[in-house]
Amino acid sequence: HVRYRMEASCLELALEGERLCKAGDCRAGVSFFEAAVQVGTEDLKTLSAIYSQLGNAYFYLHEYAKALEYHHHDLTLARTIGDHVGEAKASGNLGNTLKVLGNFDDAIVCCQRHLDISRELNDKVGEARALYNLGNVYHSKGKNVACAGTHDPGELPDEVKAALQKAADYYEENLTIVTELGDRAAQGRAYGNLGNTHYLLGNFRSAVIAHEQRLLIAKEFGDRAAERRAYSNLGNAYIFLSEFETASEYYKKTLQLARQLKDRAVEAQACYSLGNTYTLLQDYEKAIDFHLRHLTIAQELNDRIGEGRACWSLGNAYTALGNHDQAMHFAEKHLEISREVGDRSGELTARLNLSDLQMVLGLSYSINNSMISEIHAVDNSLDGARPRVGRRHSMENMELMKLTPEKIQNWN
């Protein structure tokens, strides 16, 4: 009789935990699940379900160490009771958690287990989901290694390329199955991440094709967050295709949706992207306008790193316009913020920019303005010396706004 009461109480608590998590309140859900674990149950499948949901709740709360712990308990339990479907699910969740924690090799083992079991059970839905997860792990692995250097997309070490290519293959395999299953939502996710993988691989045309599909599906579902993501990713790909006008159109759509969705951080990101795009289009007034909007939101969100980046961009744009007083003002702010956040390379950049500007201002006070135009002429001549296309080229256009070419060499 006591045991029955205990079981009932455990179930009741777990059901309330489920209800709260479904309603989006994971924090409260966790308390109920943990209370359910405290009460305990002799039914191991129920316990497995509680562990699994606790793991997912912690995952959504970004408490990954806790998520790992509970998904691990779930996996052990599922194996103990010989629940194959349960084991596959626990392996998948463990894999996703290990991926976020940066343990890619173990993540691959877990996701592969999810895939193998799903195939053994002829579970097409599970198989597709495992393929998507595997794609995500290889994508993260590739991106993580690529982050250690300062590569542009398309200029990658072999190790990174291999991981990204695997990710693309898994997304393609996933797409084949979810298309057969007619699962449009899953197709949307796969197209989005496939597009981003092609983007990193430097296949910008393929990236555009995938993101266009993603956009189409997002519209079908009226999923405005996904629609906004697709616009933003399309903008990024068109930048690399050197189609800056098209990129600016997509970024504007991103901005519009970010405002509708009242997401200030995303709005700031869109403004920053637009600022950079107008810099590439050499429309510095518009670039300044968007960078100032970005700056305002960064200050509002108390985002010092974003603020520093805005100051740097504004310094460059004002320099391009020959407004050296404003350029100086923002270069000083950039230096101040770089020091504050401990950004050593930002600090160095700011110092170089400041010394360049001080020199120009000093010269312009003592000689005349023709000196400045002469320096600009020297900078412009560099343009022809570096005819490479795409982003690298665009980045160099931006660097040309720094005033002394020798220092560009040192910096590079």
Partner 1 sequence: SQSIAGCQAAELQSKVVPSKQILHSDNMEMEPETMETKSVTDYFSKLHMGSLVYSCTSKRKTK
Nearer to partner 1, 24 or 366 (CB): 24
* Shortest Å distance, C-beta 154 to partner 1: 13
* Shortest Å distance, C-beta 375 to partner 1: 21
Rounded Cα distance, 67 and 367, in Å: 66
Nearer to partner 1, 96 or 203 (CB): 96
Copy the structure tokens of residue 134: 């595997």
Position 197, amino acid: T
Q: What is the dihedral of CA 176, 180, 184, 187, to 10 degrees?
A: -10
Nearer to partner 1, 129 or 324 (CB): 129
* Pair 132, 190: CB distance under 8 Å: yes
Q: Which letter, b or e, does each residue of 223-258 get, where b requires 16 or more Cβ atoms within 10 Å of its Cβ?
A: eeebbbbbbbbbbbbbbbbeebebbbbbbbbbbebb
Nearer to partner 1, 168 or 268 (CB): 268
User: Which residues, in sequence order, are CB contacts of 227 under 8 Å at separation 6+?
Assistant: 215, 218, 219, 257
Nearer to partner 1, 64 or 324 (CB): 64
* Shortest Å distance, C-beta 203 to partner 1: 14
* Shortest Å distance, C-beta 228 to partner 1: 8
Nearer to partner 1, 226 or 360 (CB): 226
* Shortest Å distance, C-beta 236 to partner 1: 4
Rounded Cα distance, 35 and 220, in Å: 41
* Shortest Å distance, C-beta 370 to partner 1: 30
Rounded Cα distance, 285 and 280, in Å: 12
User: Which residues, in sequence order, are CB contacts of 24 under 8 Å at separation 6+?
Assistant: none
Nearer to partner 1, 132 or 170 (CB): 132
Question: Nearest-CA neighbor of 118 among 198, 202, 56, 174?
Answer: 174
Nearer to partner 1, 203 or 313 (CB): 313
Nearer to partner 1, 305 or 370 (CB): 305
* Shortest Å distance, C-beta 277 to partner 1: 6
* Pair 215, 234: CB distance under 8 Å: yes
Copy the structure tokens of residue 271: 């403004």
* Shortest Å distance, C-beta 175 to partner 1: 13
At residue 157, the 3 state secondary structure works out as coil
Rounded Cα distance, 85 and 92, in Å: 11
* Shortest Å distance, C-beta 68 to partner 1: 13
| Separation of first and last alpha carbons in the chain | 76
Q: What secondary structure does DSSP assign to 322-383, as a single string?
A: T-HHHHHHHHHHHHHHHHHHT-HHHHHHHHHHHHHHHHHHHHHHHS-THHHHHHHHHHHHHH
Which residue, chain included where needed, has tokens 């960064």?
Answer: 298
